[in-house]
């Protein structure tokens, strides 16, 4: 059964979902979307469903609000249409386009291509910083 409102699934910390959460809150307020926070055990169980114990022909047993994309990534945004999407910054950009924004206005002004280019440049630079931070953390602190 599809979700009744846009549902963002991620862990219970900011991480890669922070921009998507902020943009969804700005576009839809507190009650216009679901902030579905899962723990690592739930995430592992959800990922196993795509594996179906090695039976690739079986349909995965996916429940609403849980991992719907074979990519197995979070953050994931599931929509009432039944479709689901990953990639945190893409979800944030989508949310910025949903309206003019309740708090911050016109965060992604689609009519101005050059301004969107400038915004995307910053967003991609931030993404590189997140990736580098994760790589450094894994290299120096998780050994």
75 binds ligand GSH (CB under 6 A): yes
Bridge partner list, 108: none
Among residues 23, 87, 94, 96, the one that binds ligand GSH under rule CB under 6 A: 87
DSSP letter string over 92-114?
HHHHHTSSS-SSS--SS-TT-HH
72 binds ligand GSH (CB under 6 A): yes
Considering only the stretches 1-9, 30-38, 86-94, 104-112, report the one whose residues sit in contact with ligand GSH under the rule CB under 6 A.
86-94
10-13, Cβ contacts within 8 angstroms, sequence gap of 24 or more: 10/36, 10/37, 10/38, 10/74, 10/75, 10/76, 11/37, 11/38, 11/39, 11/40, 11/43, 11/74, 12/37, 12/38, 12/39
CB of 1 to ligand GSH, least distance (A): 24
What residue number has its CB nearest to ligand GSH? 88
Which residue lies nearer to ligand GSH by CB, 5 or 44? 44
Among residues 6, 8, 9, 16, the one that binds ligand GSH under rule CB under 6 A: 16
- Residues of the shown chain interacting with ligand GSH in the complex, contacts defined by CB under 6 A: 15-16, 72-75, 86-88
């Amino acid at each position: 059964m599809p979700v009744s409102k846009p549902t963002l699934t991620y862990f219970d910390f900011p991480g890669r979902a922070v921009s998507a959460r902020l943009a969804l809150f700005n576009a839809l307020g507190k009650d216009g979307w679901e902030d579905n926070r899962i723990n690592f055990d739930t995430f592992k169980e959800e990922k196993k469903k795509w594996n179906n114990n090695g039976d690739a022909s079986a349909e995965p047993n996916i429940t609403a609000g849980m991992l719907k994309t074979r990519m197995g990534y979070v953050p994931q945004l599931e929509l009432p249409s039944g479709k689901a999407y990953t990639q945190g910054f893409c979800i944030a950009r989508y949310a910025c386009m949903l309206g003019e924004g309740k708090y911050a206005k016109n965060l992604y002004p689609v009519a101005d291509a050059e301004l969107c280019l400038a915004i995307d440049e910053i967003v991609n630079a931030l993404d590189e910083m997140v990736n580098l931070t994760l790589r450094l953390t894994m290299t120096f602190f998780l050994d």
